[in-house]
Structure 1
Amino acid sequence: MLDMVIKGGPVVWLLVGFSVVALTVIVLKAAQFYLLRDASPALVNNAIGAFESGEQEPEKRFAEAGGYTRAWLVNHALLLIKDTRLTSEQARLESERLAKAAINCRLSYLRILDVIAAMAPLLGLFGTVLGMIASFQAMEAAGSQVNPAVLSGGIWQALLTTAVGVAVAIPVSMVHSVFERRTEVQANQYEDDLARIFTAYARQRVQSRPVKLASAG
């Protein structure tokens, strides 16, 4: 394998470097997604349900939630609603800002995987074209004394870059799609949680308003 990498030339070395970068990002993102996982979905759903039913302090159910998790976002949304210095619109906007920050945290560095997945096959093809040009130049220089073994050796070395590029791109593209899909699911969950919370809050505000008695005619 090392011999093939050496014979592949600078393009293969660059692709190997891409694979190292991609592997590093994948390991870091996998650890991040594990730390930000929704460990207690039932707890969060129960807390939102408690708020919808009128419980006064449902946020105490997960006061120790870690940053940028679903429980963390719901906890902050409930605390913002109780902050008398904020209007309902301000509390909603701040909750949405926190949700976007949590999603952006999950999206960080995914662009690197996207670029590597797109660039690796192109670099492989570029290396193959360069290798084929060199092979045909050698054929032209040899004239009628062309050695088929030398020619075929140059061709397989040229095609090696395409194989390496595709080998790098396929797993990186698959992992990127998995991470992107998980982020999309989480974003939809955040949107649904905030919609439930602020819909319940608006309903409670309407119900708490004093009823005006009609004046006698």
Structure 2
Amino acid sequence: MLSLIQAAGWPIWPIIIASIVALAIIGERMWTLRLSVVSPKELLPRVLSEYKRNGVNPEMLARLQTHSPLGQILAVGLRNVKSTREVMKESIEESGRVIVHDLSRYLTTLGTIAALSPLMGLFGTLVGMIEIFGSNSPTGSNPAQLAYGISVALYNAAFGILVAIPSMIFYRHFRAKVDDFVIEMELQALKLVEIVHGEREG
């Protein structure tokens, strides 16, 4: 691996740093954006059951607030349970916007890496081309410098694309996952509002 980095020259270092950041974001988002963590299926039935038994109490709200993103939304809804349906829905929507922002954390960085990695590879290719042209002189060409220039150009182009492809795949995957979570949490919150206001059976 070290020999590849040496052959690719100094332009490879920004691509390596970008790949490390991308891997860290992918690992963190895969761990964070799990269904059991974001929007547990069993949470709403459990909340409704507790609400029907004991009503809303501070302990219940505090537990929900720290449970999951869906729990935070349900806690906001229950905090406004005595308000009108519209006020309850508005409070849930405001809370939802903050949670969506949190779920989308680092995705802009991952998308930026996906877009910039080929450009960083292209920059390395240009540096390699400069080395190739620099190997030519009136007395002849320098084979070692020519070979180094070619390796810099090719390795950087390859590494740039190699980082960009998985970064773009995971960026789109996580974006779609966040959208799915948003729809799911909206449905769960709407169900809570309708049941609490007697417009739907639990």
The TM tier, using the shorter chain, reads: 0.7 to 0.9
How many angstroms does 1:196 deviate by? 2.5
Q: Distance in 1 between matches of 2:146 and 2:40?
A: 62
Alignment-derived partner of residue 215 in structure 1: none
Scaled by the length of structure 1, the TM-score of the pair is: 0.74
In the alignment, structure 1 residue 122 sits paired with structure 2 residue 158: no
Alignment CA distance shift 1:98-1:58 (3 Å): same
Structure 2 unaligned segments of length 5 or more: list them. none
How many angstroms does 1:184 deviate by? 0.9
Q: Distance in 1 between matches of 2:172 and 2:45?
A: 27
Alignment-derived partner of residue 71 in structure 2: 71
In the alignment, structure 1 residue 198 sits paired with structure 2 residue 190: no
Q: Distance in 1 between matches of 2:40 and 2:26?
A: 25
| Equivalent position SS for 1:81 | coil
Equivalent AA in structure 2 for residue 7 of structure 1:
A
Equivalent AA in structure 2 for residue 6 of structure 1:
Q
Equivalent AA in structure 2 for residue 179 of structure 1:
F
Alignment-derived partner of residue 211 in structure 1: none
Equivalent AA in structure 2 for residue 134 of structure 1:
E
Q: Answer whether contact 1:59 1:75 (CA < 8 A) is retained.
A: no
Q: Distance in 2 between matches of 1:124 and 1:168?
A: 10
Q: Distance in 2 between matches of 1:126 and 1:24?
A: 24
Equivalent AA in structure 2 for residue 174 of structure 1:
I
After superposition, residues 180-195 of structure 1 pair within 5 angstroms as 180-195=175-190
Equivalent AA in structure 2 for residue 19 of structure 1:
S
Alignment-derived partner of residue 16 in structure 1: 16
Structure 1 unaligned segments of length 5 or more: list them. 205-217
In the alignment, structure 1 residue 164 sits paired with structure 2 residue 159: yes
How many angstroms does 1:163 deviate by? 0.8
Q: Distance in 2 between matches of 1:12 and 1:25?
A: 20
How many angstroms does 1:74 deviate by? 2.1
Alignment CA distance shift 1:55-1:35 (3 Å): closer
Equivalent AA in structure 2 for residue 132 of structure 1:
M
Alignment CA distance shift 1:12-1:58 (3 Å): farther
| Deviations, residues 71-94 of structure 1 (Å, cap 9, x unaligned) | 332243133223xxx443322211
Q: Answer whether contact 1:128 1:162 (CA < 8 A) is retained.
A: yes
In the alignment, structure 1 residue 155 sits paired with structure 2 residue 158: no
Equivalent AA in structure 2 for residue 190 of structure 1:
M
Scaled by the length of structure 2, the TM-score of the pair is: 0.79
Deviates more, 1:183-192 or 1:7-16: 7-16
Root-mean-square deviation (Å): 3.2
Alignment-derived partner of residue 96 in structure 2: 99
The higher radius of gyration belongs to 1
Equivalent AA in structure 2 for residue 27 of structure 1:
G
Q: Answer whether contact 1:22 1:116 (CA < 8 A) is retained.
A: yes
Alignment CA distance shift 1:57-1:178 (3 Å): farther
Q: How many residues align?
A: 196
| Deviations, residues 151-209 of structure 1 (Å, cap 9, x unaligned) | 344212211101111111122222222222221111011221233333445555xxxxx
| Deviations, residues 93-151 of structure 1 (Å, cap 9, x unaligned) | 11111111111111111111110111001110121022113202323x2x473366653
Q: Alignment identity in percent?
A: 25
